[in-house]
Amino acid sequence: MFKTVMPLSAILSLRFFGLFLVLPVLSVYALTLQGATPLLIGVIVGGYALTQAIFQVPFGIMSDKIGRKPTLLIGLVIFLVGSIICAVSTDIYTLMFGRFLQGAGAIGAVIPAMISDLVTEESRGKAMALMGGTIAMSFAFAMALGPIIAAHYGMGILFWIAAVLSIVSMIVLFTNVPTPPRIRHIYHSTTTTRDILKDPNLLNMVIINGMQKGLMTVAFVLIPILLTQTQYGFGWEKAELWKVYVPALVLGLIAMGPAAVFGEKYNKPKQIFLISIVLFIVSFTLMGFATKSWEFVLGVVSFFMAFNMMEPLVQSMISKFAKVHQKGAALGIANGFAYLMTFIGGIVAGLGLEYGNKETLALSLIVVSTLWLLWTMKLSNPLRFSHLYLPMEHVDEVKLNDLEHEHIAEWYINETENLVVVKYRKELMDEETIKAKIVK
């Protein structure tokens, strides 16, 4: 499983690393460009996410028609071109165009769907957690390295690094990524957005994914501006930003490990999500009302811990709650909404700074996060299922098509390996009972 998942996780993580690398410093550096305003800065920080949201569905459809690998290649090429435009930009509008183009290569949902195709059902949760963990690691290291590199070599070098990483991702794609098997989804033939949103647990995960990413953009508009602009009372130099990001990185990584274990191994993701939301509330309280640098740094640490505790679990839980025929759609909807919220987060932060003050903005974020906390209490932890694998030649297809039972969640056929897969509650039903229903 590791050899299958890691190349795809590496592609996604390298791409996110290129995007995350600029986040800690983009807002404060962009303020120096001609025509910059806080609102336009918010658009630039979250701009890539708007085009990500728009192109999620087209890229998903494209991957079904021309294949996963060609679709990933097209997305990486678009990201490469956008990164180069950002690197050479000298005004706010060229930078904005480059950021929009970076996001237009919307492969965020294609890779999780491909991972779902390549790994067994039992390993899928671990695979998604591994993918989420690598993204969280790329996020953490980008936060630490971005300010240091920008301070020494300028903002443009960060976009050139993103361009180089997209080329590395293309190489990984065609040297290490296997071709996924064909899966015939028999348990219902189609799925719709309504199917996803009617499931309370999937709806909760869509909201969790969106809120997490939206608050991320808000934070990365606010943190560098509040610390470096003298009117907010701190007056740090840009080169000093690493002093807030490095401790946040370390403590965020420390928090991520136990959260992933507790959420996955002990099947308690709901509890992790609730703790993370409380930390988000603490972080915006401290950042909004801090009068001393150490209070603000503590707020940033709380934010990093909250984000990193959630990240390894989000994609995994979406995959667990969705049925086999829903996984691609569920991941697409969740990621599309997350990118939309990322863009909205940038706009909200920009408007808050341009027309309000940090205290009012912080109070608004605290209220919204509290409502999110109350909503998330309705989330259930996922049920644990086992899987029965039977060679297709041993199965009566007529009986299989009639297979229904309250303790059988779903079944499908892996045509590449010629296997029938039945997903069921092992503590409530045994394999022999299932075999008696469908074996010739």
Residue 400: per-residue pLDDT? 81
303 & 158 share domain:
yes
228 & 162 share domain:
yes
Domain assignment of residue 393, given as a range:
386-438
Give the chain's radius of gyration (CA, Å): 22
Question: pLDDT tens digits, residue range 66-117?
Answer: 777 888 899 999 999 999 999 999 889 999 999 999 988 878 777 777 776 7
265 & 367 share domain:
yes
Number of domains in the chain: 2
Rounded to an integer, the average pLDDT of 307-323 is: 84
Note whether 117 and 48 are within 8 A (CB): no
Q: Is residue 196 part of a domain?
A: no
79 & 217 share domain:
yes
316 & 397 share domain:
no
Alpha carbons 392 and 413: distance in angstroms, whole number = 8
The residue length of the chain stands at: 440
The separation between the first and the last C-alpha atoms of the chain, rounded to the nearest angstrom, is 32
Question: pLDDT tens digits, residue range 394-440?
Answer: 888 788 877 877 777 778 787 777 888 888 887 788 888 888 888 88
CB atoms within 10 A of CB 167: 12
Residue 417: per-residue pLDDT? 75
237 & 370 share domain:
yes
Q: Which two tokens stand for residue 25?
A: 């410093």
Note whether 379 and 270 are within 8 A (CB): yes
Collapsing DSSP to helix, strand or coil, 341 comes out as helix
CB atoms within 10 A of CB 424: 21
Last residue of a domain, one of 327, 346, 376: 376
- Reported as type and span, the H/E element at residue 404 is none
Top-confidence range, 196-205, 271-280, 321-330: 271-280
Place of tokens 């990185």: 249
- Model confidence at 186: pLDDT above 70: no
Residue 180: per-residue pLDDT? 65
Q: What is the CATH number of the domain that holds 307?
A: 1.20.1250.20
- 403 Cβ neighbours under 8 A, 6+ residues apart: 411, 422, 437, 438
Q: Is residue 358 part of a domain?
A: yes
CB atoms within 10 A of CB 195: 17
Q: Is residue 336 part of a domain?
A: yes
- Model confidence at 188: pLDDT above 50: no
Q: What are the φ/ψ torsions at residue 177 (nearest 5 degrees)?
A: -95, 120
Q: Is residue 277 part of a domain?
A: yes
Note whether 283 and 300 are within 8 A (CB): yes
Question: pLDDT tens digits, residue range 355-406?
Answer: 888 999 999 999 999 999 999 999 999 877 788 888 888 888 788 877 877 7
